Every structure is written in structure tokens, then in C-alpha cells.
């Protein structure tokens, strides 16, 4: 094993959560500060609580309300037929030219 390439390991790293819970673990850092832990996470506590650190839930809910407020208009894949005889496909163009040639004779 090579020497002086591995980080320092701290077997008694103190982890501190935003809720105030602290526990000890091993890490390459002396101290770790986290936003959420098993003492306050809804999965472990069973309480319905939004886990949101930067307003992401409110931002998502606002975008959902805005999307519902907008009226969705489905766009057609084909342009609206306005009655003109302009060909849309190559096949229609060829047929139109054949018809013009027959009428010219």
C-alpha cells in the first residue's frame, strides 16, 4: 500500500443535524453538519412533513397551479386545410403534375 496518499480517517466524527440530534461515526472529516437525519426524517418518524430546505415544494406547487391555470391547446401535426390546392407531399406534387400534363394535351 502506498504511503501518504490516503486521507486522514477520524473514527469519532461528530455528525450534527439541523434538528439538534448528534451522533458519532467514522469519516474522513472531523465534523459533519447535515440538514436531516433519522430522528427527523418522515420515513423514520412516520409523521407527514415536507422535507424542504430551499422552498422547492412551494416552487413545485406554484408551477402546478400555473399549469392548471393555463388552457392547453393541442397543436395539430398537419396545417389546417384552407381549401387551397397546394400539395403537401411529394406524391401529391407528382399527381398534380400528371393531372396538369393530361389537361394540357
Residues 28, 7 contacting (CB under 8 angstroms) = yes
Which is more confidently placed, 13 or 69? 13
Walk me through the domains of the chain, giving residue ranges and CATH numbers: 1-51 (4.10.80.400)
Q: Give CA–CA dist 29/10, Å, rounded.
A: 7
Question: Which of 17, 50, 49 is CA-nearest to residue 33?
Answer: 17
17 among the known binding-site residues?
Answer: yes
Q: For the sheet containing 31-34, what is the strand order?
A: 22-27, 10-17, 31-34
Work out the angle at residue 10's Cα, subtended by the Cα atoms of residues 9 and 11, and round it to the nearest 5 degrees: 110
Mind listing the pLDDT tens digit for each residue in 1-57? 688 898 999 999 999 998 899 999 999 999 999 988 888 887 777 777 666 667 788
Check the annotation: does 13 bind a ligand.
no
pLDDT score of 67 more than 80? yes
Amino acid at each position: 500500500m502506498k504511503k501518504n496518499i490516503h486521507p486522514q480517517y477520524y473514527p469519532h466524527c461528530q455528525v450534527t443535524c439541523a434538528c439538534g440530534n448528534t451522533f458519532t461515526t467514522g469519516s474522513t472529516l472531523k465534523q459533519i453538519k447535515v440538514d436531516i437525519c433519522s430522528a427527523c426524517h418522515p420515513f423514520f418518524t412516520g409523521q407527514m412533513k415536507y422535507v424542504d430546505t430551499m422552498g422547492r415544494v412551494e416552487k413545485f406547487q406554484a408551477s402546478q397551479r400555473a399549469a392548471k391555470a393555463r388552457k392547453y391547446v393541442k397543436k395539430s401535426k398537419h396545417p389546417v386545410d384552407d381549401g387551397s390546392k397546394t400539395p403537401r407531399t411529394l406524391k401529391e406534387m407528382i399527381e398534380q403534375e400528371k393531372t396538369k400534363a393530361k389537361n394540357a394535351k
